Amino acid sequence: MRTFNYSNIPIELYTPEIVNLISAIHEYRGKQEIYFSAQPDVLQAMLEVAKIQSTGASNRIEGIYTSESRLTELVKFKAEPRNRDEQEIAGYREVLNTIHESYEYLVPRSNIILQMHRDLYGFNSGTSGGRYKATENVVEDTNPDGSKRIRFFPLTAFETLEAMDSLCSEYLKAIDAAKIDPLLLIGMFILDFLCIHPFSDGNGRLSRLLTLLLLYREGYIVGKYISVEMTIERTKEQYYETLEQSSKEWLGENHRYAAFVQYYLSVILHVYKEFEQRISFIRTKGISKSDRVRTLIEQSLGKITKAKIAIKCPDISVTTIEKALADLLKQAWIVKVGSGKTTAYLWNHLRETNPE
């Protein structure tokens, strides 16, 4: 049987890099309430945007796609799914909403994880949602030529139930003892969950939902407002690389958590930094919404799209953004590049050096 012991943290996890990441995250968490005192309507707008981004990003990592317009309809307006990909997106939406609304009551035990997996596949008929794997599975990578490479052999189906019970029990015991930083325990738990690979499908997406659940339960709720999943999607090559590094010799309990834990901590810190920047920009006093659009473009490196402006300024309506862009174009403060879906805008630095 594969055993877990979270009462003693491996010395490898106390590197300067990991310790510095934890210290920085603690500092941001300490300022969390100040950030959350922003206007309620702004936070609500950020929350709605993050839900859409998180659902889309986590599914895209696993090759599950739909259009941006359909993604918004499925997540924001709870549209009925039209195909298998949309069914899986809708399932993710439901579990994400449950975590947002009830994370205090969702104790990470085996039965709760099974219920989350059941709901993840709640729109798919004839699937094994809510049941641990009944047959053996492997973790594969797809090479550029389409061939497969086995990256990891998880636990057998026979061992899975007992391993999941042990994993959850040891994690909760360590959390209750309060002797080890929860950020370290969360990273270790997620790695071990992925290495058990308890389900025939959906392990990656469920691991990201579990990450949010565990973070929220320990007071790190920034993922409600800035998408953790989107940050992982943007760095997914590093995600898979560190996962492979830390899963080597996992079955023999000779693996090293450090690479994966450090990566996950860097993701959390990035999300906190982005949240602070977003809130600081939104709460700028004495500046109109149109001027905020102008300032955002001026401070951007390279081009920026209307959609990106809407994400950065969720409290500003699309109509106001479009008017601001039109005015800035008319005054030659910005330059329009591309057309159609590729349309973007650049700050016109020549306008600063050659005013009318």
CATH code, domain carrying 303: 1.10.10.10
Task: Please report, for residues 51, 73, 142, 200, 275, the alpha-carbon distance to residue 56 in angstroms, rounded to integers and kept in the order given.
Answer: 8, 12, 21, 21, 19
Tokens representing 55 are 């659902």
Mean pLDDT of the chain: 91
Sign for the pseudo-dihedral over CA of 205, 101, 219, 185? negative
pLDDT in tens, 93-139: 999 999 999 999 999 999 999 999 999 999 998 778 999 999 998 88
5 lies in some domain: no
Residues 320, 328: contact at Cβ < 8 Å? Answer: no
Residues 252 and 313 in one domain: no
Give the domain CATH number at 217: 1.10.3290.10
Does the pLDDT at position 153 exceed 90? Answer: no
pLDDT tens per residue, range 194-237: 999 999 999 999 999 999 999 999 999 999 999 999 999 999 99
In this structure, are 71 and 126 located in the same domain? yes
Mean pLDDT value across residues 277-291: 75
Task: Indicate the Cα dihedral angle 324, 325, 327, 331, nearest 10°.
Answer: 130
Q: What are the φ/ψ torsions at residue 304 (nearest 5 degrees)? A: -140, 140
Confidence (pTM): 0.86
Q: Is 200 part of any domain?
A: yes
Structure tokens at 282: 């939104």
Are 161 and 261 within one domain?
A: yes
Same domain flag for 342 and 274: no
d(CA 258, CA 245): 9
- State whether 273 and 302 are in the same domain: no
Query: Would you place residue 60 in the very low, low, confident or very high pLDDT band (cuts 50, 70, 90)?
Result: very high
CA-CA distance, 100 to 52, in Å (whole number)?
A: 13
140 and 71 fall within a common domain: yes
Q: Kindly state the percentage of the chain with pLDDT values over 90.
A: 72
Residues composing the chain: 356
Band the pLDDT of 281: cuts 50, 70, 90: confident
Regarding whether 344 and 239 lie in a shared domain, the answer is no
Residue 347, SS3? strand
List, in sequence order, every residue forming a beta bridge with 139; answer none if it has no partner.
Answer: 152
Query: Are 279 and 35 contacting, i.e. CB atoms less than 8 angstroms apart?
Result: yes
Domain boundary, last residue among 256, 281, 306: 281
Confidence bin at 20 (pLDDT 50/70/90): very high
Query: Which residue in 62, 321, 87 sits closest to 205, CA to CA?
Result: 62
Is 1 part of a structural domain of the chain? no
User: Structural domain of residue 245, as residue ranges?
Assistant: 11-281
126 and 266 in a single domain? The answer is yes
Calculate the alpha carbon distances from 87 to 58, 111, 115, 136 in Å.
Answer: 14, 23, 17, 25
Percent above pLDDT 70 for the chain: 96
| 291 and 265 together in one domain | no
CB atoms within 10 A of CB 296: 19
Q: With 90 as the cut, is the pLDDT of residue 42 above it?
A: no
Could you tell me if 178 and 41 lie in one domain? yes
Helices (H) and strands (E) in the chain, counts: 16, 4
Query: Which runs of E-coded beta strand occur in the chain?
Result: 139-142, 148-152, 334-337, 344-347
3 in any annotated domain: no
Q: Which of 70-79, 167-176, 281-290 has the lowest mean pLDDT?
A: 281-290
Domain boundary among 260, 281, 302: 281
- pLDDT of the residue at 305: 93
Q: Is 59 within the bounds of a domain?
A: yes
Q: Are residues 232 and 325 in the same domain?
A: no
SS3 142: strand
Does residue 346 sit in helix, strand or coil? Answer: strand
CA dihedral 303, 306, 307, 308 (to 10 degrees): 40
Task: Identify which has the larger pLDDT, 94 or 149.
Answer: 94
Single residue among 281, 305, 332 that ends a domain in this structure: 281
Number of domains in the chain: 2
> In this predicted structure, which of 47-51, 144-148, 344-348 has the lowest mean pLDDT?
144-148
One domain for residues 79 and 28: yes
Spatial CB neighbours of 125, under 8 Å, sequence gap ≥ 6: none
Q: Are 49 and 314 in contact (CB under 8 A)?
A: yes
